[in-house]
A and B are shown apart, each in its own frame.
Chain A
C-alpha cells in the first residue's frame, strides 16, 4: 500500500477545483486536481490515487467514457469513482437526469452528487468520503466532520447507492385516456389489485385508461386500468385516482417493480443527492421528491430544450428565431418554423402581396450587425438573385427588420438530403447517382458565374415533393474573388464536409466546393461521413491529415470508378482534384453507363 494516496478531483472549471481542493485539504484529504481527462490520466499513471471525483463533461471528453475506460483496465477497475456535477450544468429534464445517473451507476460509479449551489458541496462530499474511504485516510484527525468510517472500498464498489436513487426519480409513470396523449401521473400507493395515482388527467368512475411505467432495462410497459375512485386533491390542478388494473403479466411486472421500490423507500435511510431544486436539508422521501415535480409537460419542446442546453450564443439565436414565430415581417408572414442552421433561421413564409408561399430566412442578428458581413452578404445576394436555374432555390427579395437581414426565397416543399440520409431505405444507388450528377451540373452553371457555394453539404441539398433537387443557401456563400476575410466569422457550419483549405481559412475556389460535394456524396453512398470524430477539432484534423478510406471499402456495392472519382474529389491538395465540373460530370456519366 502506498504511503500517501490521493483524491483525484477532475473538473473543467479551475475556480471550482480550487475552492473544492482547498476545503478538502482543510478537512485533511490529500488532493490532486486535473482540468481534463488527459491531465487526469497523467496523474493516475504517476501518482497513487485512492478515489476519483469527476465531472460528467470535461474539456476533452465525457466523464462516462473516462469511467468506462478505467473500469476496463485491471489497474484502475477497482478505483472508487464519484460523479460530482455542478447544478448549473444540469439543465436536463428529469428523465434525462435520471438516465444519466443510472448510466453512471451502471458503469460502476459509487455516487452521483449534484452541487446544488445552495449549500457547501464540500461538506456533503466529505461526509460521503468518510463513508467510502478507510478510517485514517485523512491526514489530520480533527477534520470538521470526521465520522467513523463504516465501509471500506475493498473489492469492486457495489452499487448500493443506486437503490437509494431509483425510487425517488426513476418512476416516470404516465396515464392516458386514448393511448396517444400521455399525462404524467405519480403513483402514491399500490397493491395487487391496482394503484393510486395523482394526476392532472380528470377521469370519471368506470372509465378505462392506460398507465405506463418505465421498467429497469429501458422498456416501458403499458397496462389498461379502470378508474374505481376519484378525489380532487388540489382543485383545480390535480386529482387522485384509484385504478384497478387488468390482471395481466405486464401488470404483475409493474406491481412487483413498484412495490419493491416503495418497500425500499420506506426502509432505506434516504439521503440527499442534492437535486437542483431541493431546498430542504431534510432527507426527502421518494414520494416527496416526486411530488416536487411540477412540470406537467407532455412532450418536451426540442427547440426550448436546445435553447437550454446549446452553447450560449446559439441558444440566444434560437430564442430570437422563436420570437418571430407567428409574426409578420414586412409583407411576409412567418407561418411556421422549419429549422435553424449556423447562420440563419428558416421559416415557411407567406407573401401577402403575391399570395404565395416563400421561404423566409432570417440571418443571425450577430452576423447582421457586422458591417463587413452585411456588405459581403448583400453583394453576394445581388449576384445570386441573378441566377435562374431549375435546381437552384431562387432568391426573391432581401430586406431587414431593425438591423436584422432576411432573405425571401423560393419555398421548397420537401426535405434535405440530410433528412433523407437518416432513413437509408429511401435511397437507391441509381437515384443517388442522378442526384450527384444533377448537383454537379448545377454547380457547374454556378461556377461559370464566378460563385463558390462554400457550404455544400447534405443539409443544403433539398429534394422537393415532386422529386426535384434544389441547392439552397447560395445566399451566404461568398463570391469567388473574395479573400479569406469574407469567411463566415462563425467558422464553417458543419466540419463533416469542409475542405482542408476552408478549414485553414484560405481563399476558396470551385475546388473547395468539389471537395465538399465529394464528401457529401461519400456520405450518401457510404451511409457515414468520410471522417468522423467526437469533436469538431478531431474531424477537421482528419480532413487535413488523415487518409480517406476509399468509398469502395466502406460500401462494396459501389463501383470502383465511383469510389475513385470521389477519392479524387477529396484529394487533400486542391490541385489534385478535378479542376472543372465538366471533367467531373463526364467521369460520372461514364459510371452510369
Chain B
C-alpha cells in the first residue's frame, strides 16, 4: 500500500509519514500539490493525504484535477488541514475528498481516519 503525504511543512510530513509507516504502509512525500500530481502520474499510488494550503498548487486544486482525470478518479483522498470550519470541510468533501481530518490530531485519530477512508473504497 503506497500513500502520498502532501504537505509543504517538512515537520508535518515527518509526523504523518511516521504514522503511515507504523501502519505498515509505504509513505511518499510531496512538498506541494504539483509534486503530488507528478507522483500520481508515475503510478502505483493507493491513497493521498493532502494538506489544503500549499504553495504552487493547493490541495483543493489537486482534488479537482484528480477527480476530473479518469486514471486517478478512484484513488481515495484524506484531507488533513488546520482549516476546520464546517464550511471548509463541506467544500472539500464536495470536491471529492473521502475524509477530512482537522489539525491538531493524535496519531490514533490519523490512523483511524486513514482506515476509515480506505475501508470506504
Contact = CB atoms under 8 A, between A and B. Distances in A.
Closest 4 CB pairs of A and B: A208-B55, A206-B55, A207-B55, A206-B31
Contacts of B10: 204
Contacts of A206: 31, 55
A204 B31 CA distance: 12
Interface in B51-65: 55
Interface of B: 10, 31, 55
A207 B31 CA distance: 11
Interface in A204-241: 204, 206-208
A208 B31 CA distance: 14
A206 B54 CA distance: 11
A204 B54 CA distance: 13
Interface residues of A, number: 4
Interface in A463-493: none
Nearest to A226: B55
5 contacts: A204-B10, A206-B31, A206-B55, A207-B55, A208-B55
B58 to A, nearest CB: 13
A208 B55 CA distance: 8
Interface string A188-209: 0000000000000000101110
A204 B10 CA distance: 10
Contacts of B55: 206-208
Nearest to B55: A208
Nearest to B31: A206
Contacts of A204: 10
A206 B8 CA distance: 10
A206 B9 CA distance: 12
B45 to A, nearest CB: 23
Nearest to A208: B55
B114 to A, nearest CB: 27
- The majority secondary structure among interface residues of chain A is loop
Contacts of A207: 55
Contacts of B31: 206
Contacts, number: 5
A208 B8 CA distance: 12
Nearest to B32: A206
B21 to A, nearest CB: 24
A405 to B, nearest CB: 49
A532 B55 CA distance: 55
Contacts of A208: 55
Nearest to B56: A206
B106 to A, nearest CB: 26
B55 to A, nearest CB: 6
Nearest to A204: B10
A206 B31 CA distance: 10
Interface in A302-320: none
B72 to A, nearest CB: 25
B14 to A, nearest CB: 14
Nearest to B10: A204
Interface string A157-193: 0000000000000000000000000000000000000
A341 B52 CA distance: 50
A204 B55 CA distance: 12
B102 to A, nearest CB: 22
A119 B55 CA distance: 53
Interface in A42-66: none
A313 to B, nearest CB: 50
A207 B8 CA distance: 9
A567 to B, nearest CB: 61
A204 B32 CA distance: 14
A224 to B, nearest CB: 12
B120 to A, nearest CB: 34
A226 to B, nearest CB: 9
A207 to B, nearest CB: 7
A473 to B, nearest CB: 46
A553 to B, nearest CB: 59
A202 to B, nearest CB: 13
A208 B32 CA distance: 13
A265 to B, nearest CB: 35
A206 B30 CA distance: 13
A404 B44 CA distance: 77
A208 B54 CA distance: 11
B107 to A, nearest CB: 25
Interface in A520-561: none
B52 to A, nearest CB: 17
B11 to A, nearest CB: 10
A268 to B, nearest CB: 41
A207 B9 CA distance: 11
B99 to A, nearest CB: 28
A216 to B, nearest CB: 33
Interface in A341-377: none
A327 B55 CA distance: 44
A206 to B, nearest CB: 7
A207 B10 CA distance: 13
A476 B10 CA distance: 62
A206 B35 CA distance: 13
A206 B55 CA distance: 9
B4 to A, nearest CB: 18
Question: Most chain-B Cβ atoms within 10 A of its Cβ — which of A206, A207, A208?
Answer: A206
A207 B32 CA distance: 11
A208 B56 CA distance: 10
A206 B32 CA distance: 11
A178 to B, nearest CB: 12
A82 B55 CA distance: 53
A419 to B, nearest CB: 36
B16 to A, nearest CB: 18
A408 to B, nearest CB: 41
A283 B31 CA distance: 47
A408 B99 CA distance: 56
B10 to A, nearest CB: 8
A240 to B, nearest CB: 20
A169 B109 CA distance: 54
A227 to B, nearest CB: 11
Nearest to A207: B55
